[in-house]
Every structure is written in structure tokens, then in C-alpha cells.
Amino acid sequence: MTANQQVLLDNRPTGEAVAGNFKLVNSETPVLQNGQVLVRHHFLSLDPYMRGRMNDSKSYTAPQSLGEVMGGGTAGEVVESRSPKYQPGDKVVGMGGWQQYSVVSADAPGALRKVDTTHVPLSHYLGAVGMPGVTAWYGLLKIIEPKAGETVVVSAATGAVGSAFGALAKARGCRTVGIAGGPDKCRYAVDELGFDACIDYKLYKDAAALSKALQQACPDGIDGYFENVGGMVLDAVLLRMNAFGRVALCGMIAGYDGQPLPLNHPGLILTNRLKLQGFIVSEHMSIWPEALTELGTLVGSGKLRPRESVAQGLQAAPEAFLGLLKGKNFGKQLVKLI
């Protein structure tokens, strides 16, 4: 048995999530059974979707159970194994949750995946070469279906999903425009991620003003849009969409605290014959190998240089998560556990 620390969901938020919704506890890992492995987590992934799971409401997945370890992606190392599939020292990614160690059944489909850290750092398998990167890949290739010369836009452009989207879109010859919060993030998007332009939404008081900025950055209109935010940003983009434009919808972070997010101009969906499709990347596991291969190549070759915000220690996870929801992170938000 190994001493472990865990963060539990202690109570559900009312409106905005707070640190008091979580509880840090000490525990011990159970004795390994045949077919199980013990994983020591090096990194914990923090992602916006976790906020939705904190609510006891209908969604595409079950709510996070009270009194249980907060679910989430992890990257780490096998330290003990009772399965021939894994050996101590293997680097792996999985869904170990907000804790230092996890006991995993090696035979459970998709529970663990070995990764090669020769050219790609372990932490990137929770970001650019993990679920966020695959999310960007699926939304761009399977929903937006870009053609060279088209203009595509992504909100939260410097986050884990947005930065991967930028590299993937540029590789396909698209004019690629980001929307991000703050001048530093916008400079990073253009100077390091290779976006053609990036708009600081914090400079604009409403959707009409933001839409005018989009008109300058996208003089030929917008053919494809990858949505992570919703609210004012979505309204602004819809005003600039071209006929037969495509919108891939994977996040609505502006509404995660429960407030409604009405559309100001829903008639544009009909007028411009837009395709707007929501998706959950875990429902499309068949495309993961192809997506991860391309994403790994982009990172390994330096064509995608993802940035990370790293909080230190499990006890820092709740505050880092709350900061993520307010856009305080710069790039992929992680917690380093060792």
C-alpha cells in the first residue's frame, strides 16, 4: 500500500465554482490485484469541461460524484505492475484523476496508453498531443473541412485546443485568425504559433465592436469557426460568417457557471446556410491514432510550440482550475505533482 493524496468534489457549486467545493484528503492505494498496475502521476490535466461535470445536471456524461476523486487526465509512470502489458518505468497517460497515484486495470479498454517521450515531453501528451489536440484535429478536419485559401477562426486561441488548431489549419494553407484575451496572448499567437492575426476580445465592449475587428482581420469573411467560448464571441463571429460556413462547437466556457447564453442573431444560421455541429471527441476514438501521429510530428518538428501554465503540487489544483475558468492560464493548464 502506498500513501496517496486526493482531491475530492466535496459539494456542488451554486453559480461560480469556488475552492470550498473541493477537499484534499490523505489515503492509501489498495493492494494490486492480478492485471492491475500502479501509476504515479507526474502531471494532472485541468480542462474546462470539468466545470460542467461539477453540476448535477443532464449532460453528455454523468456528473462528478460527490465524495469521489475529481476525474481528469493524467500523465505519469508505472511504478508497480501485475500485468504483462506494462513494466515499471513505462510512461503512460490515462484518466487517473486528481490524485498522486492511481490503480488501473491494464485490460480495461482505453484506460492507459504508453507514450514515447524521446521527442515529445510527457506533459504534452495531456495537451497538444493528447485530448485537446485531437479535439482541434477532429473539429477542423471532420466538421470545418477546410480548403486551402479559406479563412478559419478559433476562440481561446492560445489554449491547448486553440494552439493545436492554429498549427493544423496553417498546415492546410488556411488564413488562420485567433481570438484571445490580452496583448501577450495575441503576440504569442502570431509570433510563435503562426496565426495570421489575433484579436484581443478584451478591447471590445460588445459583439458589434468585436465583429468590426473581425471584419478587418478577415476581409474575405469567415469560412470555418472553432468555438470554445460562446456568448459575445459567438455572436460576433456569426456576423462575419460566409454562406455555407461551418462551425465546430466543443466548448461554451462563458456559460459554465449556469447563466444562459442567448444568441442575438440566430437567423444568420438559416440566412447563410451554416453548419453548426457540437461534438465530444471521446465519441470518436477511431480517429485518435491518425490525429496523434500528425500532432506528435508537429510538436517534434517544432512547427507547434505549445505553452504550458504549471501549478505546483496537488493542493494547488483547485485554485489553478478556478483560474483556468477565468482565463488566467497561458496555454495548457497543468499541475505538476512531483
**Residue 261 in this model has a pLDDT that exceeds 90:** no
Q: Is residue 50 part of a domain?
A: yes
pLDDT given at position 57? 80
Q: Give the structural domain span for 73.
A: 3-127+306-336
- CATH code assigned at 153: 3.40.50.720
Q: Which H or E run includes 319?
A: helix 317-325
Residues 151 and 115 in one domain: no
C-alpha cell at 61: 456524461
Q: Is residue 141 part of a domain?
A: yes
Query: How high does pLDDT run on average in the chain?
Result: 94
Residues 103 and 217 in one domain: no
CB 131 within 8 A of CB 281: yes
Residues 139 and 277 in one domain: yes
Segment 297-331, tens digit of pLDDT: 999 898 998 999 999 999 999 999 999 998 899 99
Q: Is residue 255 part of a domain?
A: yes
Tell me how far apart the alpha carbons of residues 184 and 330 are, in angstroms, rounded to a whole number: 9
Residues 138 and 81 in one domain: no
Give the pLDDT band (50/70/90) at residue 59.
confident
Q: Is residue 276 part of a domain?
A: yes
Q: Is residue 140 part of a domain?
A: yes
Residues 229 and 161 in one domain: yes
Helices 160-170, 131-138: inter-axial angle, 10-degree rounding: 50
CB 155 within 8 A of CB 227: yes
Give the pLDDT band (50/70/90) at residue 167.
very high
Residues 90 and 63 in one domain: yes
| Number of domains within the chain | 2
Tell me how far apart the alpha carbons of residues 274 and 296 are, in angstroms, rounded to a whole number: 32
**Residue 210 in this model has a pLDDT that exceeds 90:** yes
- CATH code assigned at 82: 3.90.180.10
DSSP 8-state symbol, 125: G
